[in-house]
Amino acid sequence: GEELAERLARSLVYEDRWLLVFNKPAGLAVHGGSGVSMGLIETLRAIRPDDKSLELVHRLDRDTSGLIMVARHRPFLRKLQRMMQAGEVEKRYWLLCQGFKGQARTMDAPLLKTSHGNERVVSVSRDGKASLTEFRLLERLNGFQLLEATLGTGRTHQIRVHAQHGGFSLLGDDKYGNPSVTQEIARLGIHRLCLHARSLRLRHPETGDMLSLTAQLDDAFEHAIASLKNKAGKR
């Protein structure tokens, strides 16, 4: 609808003749399917009819907000995907969790994806694919933590499962989180998955320029941080 089209127009972070980058809203699927008729890519194709070859470069979970790249031409898509496979695209995420110890931690644990009906579930397994996430503390929030995660690989649900495996599940994670913590933060008005694709850094494969892009936090994520700062110690 028009409302979604307007939201996407406002969330455009970067545009050139080859590439679009959006700050995807939480709750918006990147593509249709599994009961979702219109995702981000279908909406963009509808509202940008002159762009004949729009394709997602990578994906974000529906409940994750933040930066997502959309290629405007298929040859450029292939170039970007080769760069990602070679580790030449730096992706950093911000997340809220509980239970993180110390200042930094590297999770090097293989991840295995399985399907139960239409639901995908990921777990740490020796039979899985090599997966690497580096976590760094940004701020402590009255028993909770704001972290930055840097991806060494790009597996499905990687940050969420590595955080769960490390004992510091993400806040608002209905699949891999702690249900009692989810109930606790709901009383503070926190109802979203607290994971945000904060920044992208890469050398533009056509121009050679270094792109450093940042996505602002949405109101719900900002509210979560403020609530944990101001109220968590008083509950």
Residue (of 174, 169, 188, 180) closest to 235 by Cα position: 188
Active-site residue 16, yes or no?
no
Strands 132-141 and 104-108: antiparallel
d(CA 126, CA 24) in angstroms, rounded, equals: 33
Point out the catalytic residue in the list 16, 50, 51, 61. Answer: 61
CA-CA-CA-CA torsion sign (7, 63, 186, 1): positive
Tokens 């980058």 sit on residue: 21
145, 96 contact by CB (below 8 A): yes
Distance of CA 122 to the CA centre of its chain: 16
Taken in order 47, 52, 58, 62, is the CA torsion positive or negative?
A: positive
Structural element, H or E, at residue 201: strand 195-203
- Token readout for 190 is 């926190």
Burial class (CB within 10 angstroms; exposed 0-12, middle 13-18, buried 19+) of 213: middle
Residue 143 identity (one-letter amino acid): G
The enclosing H or E element of 65 equals strand 65-71
Catalytic residues: 61
